[in-house]
Amino acid sequence: MLITKRCIKLSPKTLIRNIEIRVFSHATEDVDKVLISAKNLFPVEIKENLTFKKTQLTGYYKNPIILYKIQLNDKILCLETLKFISDQLNLSDKENLTYNIKNHLDKKNLYLRFDKQLAFVSLLRFSTKDPIHLKVHFETRTTREIIDLAKELGLIL
């Protein structure tokens, strides 16, 4: 189990219920590299023990597509993962997310999309082109509480 070195406050109103990661692997992509990209969104201590669920899909032109999905339910590991992502983001992405945070929120969820190609080399950058999808589901009651937690974790300024 991960022993946390960071001091992250846990209060009943700011708990995270889970984090879900989804990524598509197209027929032209190396599945192992796609999974490495997705695992690079997690701290080293966590990513080695992750197992993604695999779903076979068919594209519009009958091309094979594989959906890989994982849901992290441990609240401490979820916070550690968000803090890790925050530490990896550059200032430009944080400013963009700060300015557009409400576009990334829906009910009790925060949606982020990361560049799959850059994630392979451990660079976390936001992207909308063939991304790794991350959904954080919060137990909080308000958007304000989600924004406050995002600020506390350093995701936004």
Q: What is the pLDDT of residues 126-145, one digit of tens each?
A: 999 989 999 999 887 688 88
Residue 121: CB partners within 8 Å, gap ≥ 6? none
pLDDT value of residue 1: 37
Q: Do 41 and 85 meet the contact criterion of CB atoms below 8 Å apart?
A: yes
Which pLDDT value is given to residue 14?
53
Quickly count helices (H) and strands (E) in the chain: 6, 6
User: Is residue 4 domain-resident?
Assistant: no
> Does residue 5 form part of some domain?
no
Does residue 19 belong to any structural domain of this protein? yes
3 in any annotated domain: no
pLDDT at 104: 93
Residue 11 corresponds to which tokens in the numbers above?
């209060």
Residues 70-109 pLDDT 10s = 999 988 889 899 999 999 999 999 999 999 998 999 888 9
**Is residue 88 a part of any domain in this protein?**
yes
Q: What is the mean pLDDT of residues 42-52?
A: 89
The Cα 108–Cα 131 span in angstroms is 21
Average pLDDT, stretch 45-53? 89
Find the domain containing 86 and state its range: 12-153
- Give me the mean pLDDT over the 51-66 stretch: 90
For residue 56, being part of any structural domain is answered with: yes
CATH number, position 111: 3.30.1440.10
Q: Is the CB of residue 6 less than 8 Å from the CB of residue 87?
A: no
Average pLDDT, the chain: 87
CA distance 99 to 61: 38
* Torsional sign, CA 42, 131, 137, 14: positive
> What is the torsional sign of CA 118, 119, 124, 129?
positive
Contact criterion met (CB below 8 Å) for 134 and 68: no
Domain total for the chain?
1
pLDDT band for position 9 (50/70/90)? low
70-79: per-residue pLDDT in tens? 999 988 889 8
- Identify any residues that bridge with 134 across adjacent strands, giving them in sequence order: 21, 112
Question: How many angstroms from the chain centroid is the CA of residue 136?
Answer: 7
The reply to whether 23 falls in a domain is yes
